[in-house]
Amino acid sequence: MKKKALLFLTVFLVVLGVVNVKATTVNAASWGAKKVFTTPKRTRGVWYHKEDGRVVRTKITAHAVNGIKLYKVLKGKEEVKWFKRLMVADKKADYKFADKVSSSKLEAYTFKFHGVTGFNANGWLAGGGDGYYYVPVKRTVKGKKINALRVGEGAGNFFISYAYHNKKLVK
């Protein structure tokens, strides 16, 4: 009887250890993320825009988009090293692991669009062509200038729509 109890306890601890290891592999630091990215102040807030025929709500804070933390993009050899590690882990997990990592963190960088500073948020270590671009702009609605957010996506900041703080302004 003692052997069965000991065996059960051992198996339980091993399973608990494996679950713990899987939970920590999505930790930001474990995939190279070091420096937190700060969004431009004019892009922050709750925004509404239309995408694929439906209204989408996006919340941008100082360091996150929709609750997913933003980190600065890795550079050069460091990015290549972490990308290769992620691809090996993703292949072992039947190509589901990279999506899991990107659901816990995004890489972001600022850019200029017609002289205005915006930012791009990509999946972690995703490379080009993935993610959304956010640029603060002024739009005239019913003869009045209001703050809006130009939302783009893909490799070339392809226009999706304009986002507004007020859901009623979304057309």
Taking only the tens place, the pLDDT of each residue in 122-140 is 887 676 667 899 999 999 9
Q: Strand, helix or coil at 121?
A: strand
Average pLDDT over residues 46-62: 95
Residue 85 confidence (pLDDT): 76
pTM for the model stands at 0.75
Band of residue 50 on the pLDDT scale cut at 50, 70, 90: very high
User: Residue 139: phi, psi to the nearest 5?
Assistant: -125, 145
Nearest CA among 163, 60, 160 for reference residue 108: 60
